[in-house]
Amino acid sequence: MSETSVIDQETHDAIDVDRSKGDFSYPENHKFDAGVGLTEATVDYICDVKSDPDWVREFRHKALKTFWDKPNPTHWASKELDEIDFDKIRYYLSDGARPKRSWDDVPDEIKETFERLGVPEQERAFLAGVEAQYDSEAAYSNVKEELEKDGVIFVNSAEGLKEHEEIFRPWFGKVIPTGDNKYSALNSAVFSGGSFIYIPKGLKVKHPLQAYFRINSENFGQFERTLIIADEGSELMYMEGCTAPKFETSTLHSAVVELVAMKGAKIQYVTVQNWSSNVFNLVTKRGIAHEDAEIRWIDCNIGSGLTMKYPGVVMKGERARGEVISIALANTGQSQDTGAKMIHAADNTTSNVVSKSISVGEGRSTYRGQVHIPKHLKGCKNNTECDALLINANSCTDTYPAITVRGNKHVTQHEASVSQVSEDMLYYMQQRGISEGAAMSLAVNGFINDLAQEFPMEYSVELKRLIELEMEGSVG
């Protein structure tokens, strides 16, 4: 075996991100199962089980027709998307129970799942509320009593559309139209679970709200739908975590997330995903920021075989601000196709995109961004930074920044870099007694350290643990 092959093998051995924390499952015990395949009958089954209002049933059926008519995206990842067999997916699985408000009332197997993932400890330690979704529906949903008294609404999407229709319906499907893309249409047809949050005027929620999404079943598709509305002058941090066990067959996760920040409001949406490598993760996320509002997406993508996710902000009001902070790790057999969309629609708006990707083994990371500033606006600013780190000779990275600026009254800047871990730096650390794997981990964590600090403390620790990269040597 050549010296290069030996190094690559050592790197491969050192670079196996530990997903054992999420790689377990329990026997299925579902009262409601829509079966395999997607037809109008599938949609009607979901509507009947969930007792959807007529307007939701009509919304779903229109979305189903749009899904059938829409093609897959046409860039390079479309070849992998063609592997999805929509006729073999199960679109709804549930035990039929309402979300429990007390942790003690959660069924034992589901409770044990989330206890192994640390959800109740996080709730007790630093969260203002938690929703835990298991396959198609929320198993547990709770918000601190004092927040309820202040008028905060934190429920699942089914409760939101029925019990708070006057707040929910005006914005539902307005930030991300059904026809935005094939997978937003699919979600609109079969959505189940997800969060609905409303923060009243002027209320600044001091502690984060969190949702945890868990896929337990094989051949399953999870399609949560989240809508967050922050009223004038309010502030909120929302965090989500995602895991699934490793199955031999493919699993589909296709969520839609809509954020609405009214005048002067601030929303931070934090994601740490650690899906197993058999998951197709195809997510549409977008927010509308009104006058003086701010929306920040803080996003970490580690797991899944294919991720396609481009959080966006439409800066609709003057002086609105949008930001995407993104970290992606692509290991062998993984494609992380991530980025951001920033649409300036008012004067004096500001957007910032900072993306860092790490490619390991034969992994492929891609930044795909869009910034749009029309000619009739003035005083808009954009900063885009894309940095990529290659660990192995066969690692791949691509950058596709599309920045369209019309007019001459704006400021934009773009920076991109691709680098490899320095052999000299690794050698220096190894001469001081640090193993090759530990040296590589230090180098990688140093690469993402400034962005990792943007995550809440608890997530930052988890992030660095997951990115315990593995990597020993393989430079070049």
Residue 286 lies in a domain: yes
pLDDT (tens digit, 9 = 90+) per residue, 138-172?
777 777 788 889 999 999 999 999 999 999 999 99
Within a domain: 474: no
475 in a structural domain = no
How many structural domains is the chain composed of?
1
In angstroms, the CA 163 to CA 298 distance is 30
Give residue 14's pLDDT band: very low, low, confident or very high (50, 70, 90): very low
Residue 473 included in any domain: no
CA dihedral 27, 28, 31, 33 (to 10 degrees): -160
**Whole-prediction pTM value?**
0.87
Residue range of the domain that includes 388: 3-466
In percent, how much of the chain has pLDDT > 70?
82
pLDDT in tens, 190-214: 999 999 999 999 999 998 898 888 7
The predicted-structure confidence for 100-111, as pLDDT tens digits, reads as follows: 777 677 677 666
**Within a domain: 192:** yes
Residue 87 lies in a domain: yes
Residue 262, pLDDT above cutoff 90: yes
Domain assignment present for residue 136? The answer is yes
Instruction: List pLDDT tens digits, range 367-390.
Output: 999 999 999 999 999 999 999 988
Whether residue 24 is predicted with pLDDT greater than 60 in this model: the reply is: no
According to the model, what pLDDT value does residue 8 have? 42
pLDDT tens-place string over residues 52-93: 999 999 999 999 999 999 998 876 556 788 888 999 999 998
| Residues 394-421, mean pLDDT to the nearest whole number | 89
In a domain, residue 276? The reply is: yes
